[in-house]
Amino acid sequence: MAYLPAYRLKLYRNFKAIDSTDYHGIVRYYERFEDAIGTLDMEEYFDCTLAYTEALFAIGNYAQHIVMCDHLLELVIMQNIRTWGGEDVYARLLFKKAAALYQLQEYPKSEHILRELIKLHPRDRVPVRFLRACLLRQKPAWLSVTRSATILLLFLAVAVIALELFVVRPFFPDFYHTALLLHNVLLVGGIAVLAAGEFSHGWRCFHTARRFARNMCRRKKQN
């Protein structure tokens, strides 16, 4: 369907009149007039679609946001759009897509995009910190072993406490301090194993993200 220039101008003007924080209003307007918005000039269309895409993220519609990010990334590449609003729009879209995947708990996909983003801007600390958070969410198999060991030690501590109260204290008082020492060792051991596992995982994630960023910085300098 053909739309007159005056109608397209009014359409764009009305879209821009919506408060930038009225995310639901932006989404409703865009989806109501999507076909007509598609006939706008490229800059106007990109402006509207970018606002709509970011509004989708703001209202928590992450799956649709990812679809629109892919569409905009194609446009950025095809139209050679380097910056928008004084910002690297390609990096901005990649970051938002990674954030949406993170919210959907698709951590490996989010990690992959963050690594690509760090390759582009290795000195930007925000994606590096985000990569660290993404890695933290991906629990390695060995961490499950430490948690299982913690549960086992705490279960044994509870069993020893029960024996201490109902068997050792009334019938074998000479072994009371030994039982007390044993259950304390088991409790402390369980907590220590859990803390060591979590700390080790956190440190590895921190070190991995920092090392990757440093390697990308060195590679950029060499190029």
Report pLDDT digits (tens) over 165-221: 777 677 777 777 887 888 788 888 889 988 888 899 999 999 999 999 999 988 877
User: What was the pLDDT predicted at 69?
Assistant: 97
Mean pLDDT of 101-118: 96
Please report the pLDDT score of residue 208 as a whole number.
93
Grade residue 2 by pLDDT with cuts at 50, 70 and 90: low
Banded model confidence at residue 3, pLDDT cuts 50, 70, 90: low
Mean pLDDT across the stretch 94-101? 96
Instruction: Determine the Cα–Cα distance for residues 127 and 166; give it in Å rounded to an integer.
Output: 56
Residue 75 · residue 83 · CB < 8 Å: no
Over residues 27-60, the pLDDT tens digits come to: 999 999 999 999 899 999 999 999 999 999 999 9
Distances (CA, A) of 45 to 51, 52, 72, 112: 10, 10, 10, 29
Cα separation, 135 vs 153, in Å, equals 27
Model's pTM, two decimal places? 0.85
Pairing of strands 83-84, 87-88: antiparallel
- pLDDT-derived band at 4 (thresholds 50, 70, 90) equals low
Q: Which of 42, 41, 48 lies closest to 68, judged by CA? A: 48
Other Cβ atoms closer than 10 A to 65: 25
- pLDDT surpassing 60 at residue 1: no
Mind listing the pLDDT tens digit for each residue in 51-68?
999 999 999 999 999 999
pLDDT tens per residue across span 120-174: 999 899 999 999 999 999 988 888 888 888 888 888 888 878 877 777 677 777 7
Residue 72: Cβ within 10 Å count: 23
pLDDT of residue 176: 72
Q: What is the mean pLDDT of residues 3-15?
A: 81
pLDDT given for residue 168 in this prediction:
67
CA distance 10 to 16: 10
pLDDT of residue 141: 84
Tokens of 211: 């090392």
